[in-house]
Amino acid sequence: MYIFGGLMKMNALLISSIVLFSWLFLTSSVYAQKATENLRVVLMKQNPYPAEPGQTVDVEISLENKGYGDAQNVVLEIVPKNPFTLLPGEEKIKTFSRIASMDHITARYKLYVDMDTISNSYELEFRLYQIGDMTTQKIEKVLIQVQGKPKLVIDKIETDPYDIEPGDTVIIKIGIKNVGTGSASLMEASLFSNTTYILPVLSGSVSYIGTVKPNQIGEATFYMSVDKTSEYKTYPSLLTINYKDEGGNQRTDSFYIGIPVKGRPMIEILSAKVENSDFKVDVENIGTANAKALKITLLQNGKIIDSAVANELRPSKYKTVRFKGFEYGQATINISYLDEDNKFFSNEYEISIKPSAYSETEKENNLSMLLPIFLLIIIAETYYIWRLRRHIKK
């Protein structure tokens, strides 16, 4: 009876142990499952915010345990998908032996954002496991904000006419390229010169462009008037571009550009005539730029008779040169000069050298003055001869 009672007590103790062990095992399994379920991935910080296409972004997350028990042997795996790529050297899988109840740990990652990413919010995925069991137990996601930034540069400048001269009305077309990662919208360009020599024609200093996406070119067109008295130089002007980025922020970019006013010298003969013993030639610069190294040469019968030079002749100015050793008849005047860019110009003019009208009149006047003297001489000689003959007869 005693033996039977002892056996009963041992069986009861064994059964109790088995039940307790089973309860502990089941509790442990349930706890482990609940511990994973109670974990949350929260985005703490992204730098920069928003991230920019073609650039890297630093992401810091918090792995939080919201349960009432510790989470042990936790595996955290980042699963970056387009447009994100984990940079080389970054750990894709991180393990944590213990995360206390109501506590958290942090993890940091460096990611590359694809160049062609459109501005939007993108999910960054994380998977949770436990050591020894690589079956996904939970997936957590955070949102990463990506927004491109426009960057504007001057792509080209064209003018019509190509060579701008004083007195011209010129059309200026400026290509503006967006080399950034975001669109520029509501673009409006303004062109202002800091001189009174170049002024807009009506509202020709403002040009609306609209939206220019990345790697696209927008064109601004301006209409400007160049004063007739403007000099041969490049006039600085300020190009201002106002636009909105993809975040709706108003932005302004400014560029200094030069408007080259070149002009062109043009030497013409005003007059050519004989004056006293000289052949006088007057030339004028009727162009819009200085003439340099001016040389005027008189040729007759294929030979150089005489020449004259001048260092410079400004627009609307004239110069007088005198030649000697000429003959009456046909002649050629050669005029050569350089412009401000040292471009060579040469022109020839066929002329006829004739005695001046003043010289003929002067001859006639001289003959008129000498005629009475000749008459007096003839009368005197006639009287002398008459007296001499009369004396001989006596």
Residue type, 343: K
pLDDT digit string, tens, across residues 197-208? 999 999 889 999
In a domain, 8, yes or no: no
Question: Over the chain, what is the mean pLDDT?
Answer: 86
Task: Note whether 51 and 84 are within 8 A (CB).
Answer: no
Q: What is the pLDDT of residue 33?
A: 47
Last residue of one domain, picked from the residues 102, 119, 146? 146
- Please tell me whether residues 162 and 255 are part of one structural domain: yes
pLDDT digit string, tens, across residues 87-114? 999 999 999 999 999 999 999 999 999 9
Nearest alpha carbon to residue 239 among 157, 349, 356: 157
Nearest alpha carbon to residue 144 among 250, 40, 213, 41: 41
Task: Note whether 38 and 67 are within 8 A (CB).
Answer: yes
The structure tokens 């040389």 sit at 295
CA distance 391 to 356: 53
- Please tell me whether residues 235 and 316 are part of one structural domain: no
- Please tell me whether residues 165 and 237 are part of one structural domain: yes
For the ranges 261-265, 323-327, 359-363, the lowest mean pLDDT is seen at 359-363
pLDDT digit string, tens, across residues 31-55? 444 557 899 999 999 999 999 999 9
CA distance 84 to 90: 13
The residue range of the domain holding 86 is: 33-146
- Please tell me whether residues 167 and 271 are part of one structural domain: no
Give 389's contacts (C-beta < 8 A, 6+ positions apart). none
- Please tell me whether residues 138 and 199 are part of one structural domain: no
Task: Note whether 137 and 90 are within 8 A (CB).
Answer: no
**pLDDT of 2 over the 50 cut:** no
Q: What is the pLDDT of residue 40?
A: 95
Domain count, the chain: 3
Q: What is the pLDDT of residue 22?
A: 46
Check which CATH number belongs to the domain holding 215 and give it: 2.60.40.10
pLDDT > 90 in the chain, percent: 63
DSSP-derived secondary structure letter, 118: P
Task: Note whether 334 and 296 are within 8 A (CB).
Answer: yes
Q: In what order do the strands lie in the sheet with 318-323?
A: 267-275, 278-285, 318-323
